Structure 1
Amino acid sequence: MLLDHGAQVTANDISARQIEMATARCPGAKFLASNMATLAFEAESFHGTVCFYTLFHLPRSQLRDMFAKIYGWMKSGGLFVFNLAVIDEEEIHGEMMGYGMFWSSYGVHENCSILEQVGFELLEVEKVKAGDGNLEEDEPDYESEYLWVMAQKPEAGKGTK
């Protein structure tokens, strides 16, 4: 979608298979196969950042640093759109699509507080049930909820850190 409107897109996934599939679908994007915690970009490189179903795979002890990195990579006025888990759990292990997975999260209030401490303005915050609440009770993610956030790095001179 972004590529269709002339945007330059840089995307990251730890899975080489996911990168392969994404490259086939979006050949005009730049893809980086690596752990998101090790990414490094020049300051103020991006107008926007999108992270869907990713940040809760970091240990929550690394979340503040990840938010700070993203804040630094974004231009003034840039938007950060993402989702987080809503449960306050330091470590959850489970399975997803046949693979072992790790999740970690702060609760809603703590997540929002960390974002504001880093310097983001919270423009929209919404807690949404998985599948927009349209899943059947017997589906594995029926009880799952996510925090959907749109935050902004303030314009230069308006409270930036």
Structure 2
Amino acid sequence: MRIFLSFHGADAIPSIDKAHLATLPPKSKVLDLGCGAGIPIAERLCLAGHAVTGVDSSARQIEIARERVCRATFLQSDMMTVDLPVSSIDGGAAFYSITHVAATEQGLLLSRIGEWLKPAGVFVGSFGTGSAHDWVGKWLGTEMFFSHNSDAVTFDFVRQAGLQMVRAEVVQQDNEDARFLWIVARKMN
């Protein structure tokens, strides 16, 4: 299953999505951080039989997600402050959302993800490449906040969160002039 297909095209981010899904036990509890309207990530995870909780700060996006992906649970909340139980998820996804969190807070967010994951739980997420703290730019037709750390700092944050790197890959977007660092990591026991 290619969970990026509808947004990125058939060749985007080779096998990272498969690596994530293949390691999830059937009927896993999966968190989609920055879920937007729930498509394609929450939708595809639900179709694969997983119990999905999506989190997004936009009331409108959550409203749309609830209409489009009725089998998932959606919470309107900032991903930095959402309250989730420790060791409550088998998998976590953050596709194109962590870049909208201040670089100085991304380590804390990864630590929270590490706390939410069950032992051996899997996280896959995209990060900006190279250091670019706090800037605003146009994306998807609107002004948005962006921030990211160097790859080395991001790798350190992943390790400090108790996650073991499974795979890291910088991928050029096929539909825009941008590169993202994709990370698959597993919570250490």
What TM-score, normalized to structure 2?
A: 0.74
Task: Tell whether 2:106 aligns with 1:72.
Answer: no
Q: Aligned with 1:37: secondary structure?
A: coil
CA displacement at 1:5 relative to structure 2: 3.3
Partner of 1:159: none
**Paired letter, 2:90:** H
CA distance in 2, matches of 1:110, 1:91: 16
Q: What displacement does 1:87 show?
A: 2.3
CA distance in 2, matches of 1:86, 1:97: 19
Query: Could you tell me how far apart the structure 2 residues matched to 1:68 and 1:33 are?
Result: 21
For the aligned residue pairs, the C-alpha RMSD in angstroms reads 1.2
1:146 aligns to 2:180 (yes or no): yes
Structure 2 matches for 1:14-29, cutoff 5 A?
14-29=57-72
Deviation at 1:99, TM superposition (A): 2.3
Matches of 1:97 and 1:128, distance apart in 2: 19
Q: Which moved more, 1:64-73 or 1:19-28?
A: 19-28
| Identity across matched positions, percent | 29
Q: How does 1:7-156 map to 2 (within 5 A)?
A: 7-131=50-174, 135=175, 141-142=176-177, 144-154=178-188, 156=189
- Name the counterpart of 1:5: 48
Task: Measure, in 1, the Cα distance between the counterparts of 2:179 and 2:106.
Answer: 19
* Structure of higher CA gyration radius: 1
Provide the C-alpha distance between the structure 2 equivalents of 1:24 and 1:117, rounded to a whole number of angstroms. 37
Query: Are the equivalent residues in 1 in contact too, given 2:111–2:160 (CA < 8 A)?
Result: no
Distance 2:49 2:172 in 1: 33
Alpha-carbon distance between aligned partners in 2 of 1:103 and 1:49, rounded to the nearest angstrom: 21
Letter in 1 for 2:104: S
> Quick one: distance in 2 between partners of 1:98 and 1:118?
34
Counterpart CA distance in 1 for 2:70 and 2:161 is: 34
Take 1:45 and 1:148, find their aligned partners in 2: how far apart are those partners? 23
User: Aligned residues, how many?
Assistant: 146
| Structure 1 residue runs without a partner (length 5+) | 136-140, 157-161
Separation in structure 1 between the aligned mates of residue 156 and residue 139 of structure 2, nearest angstrom? 29
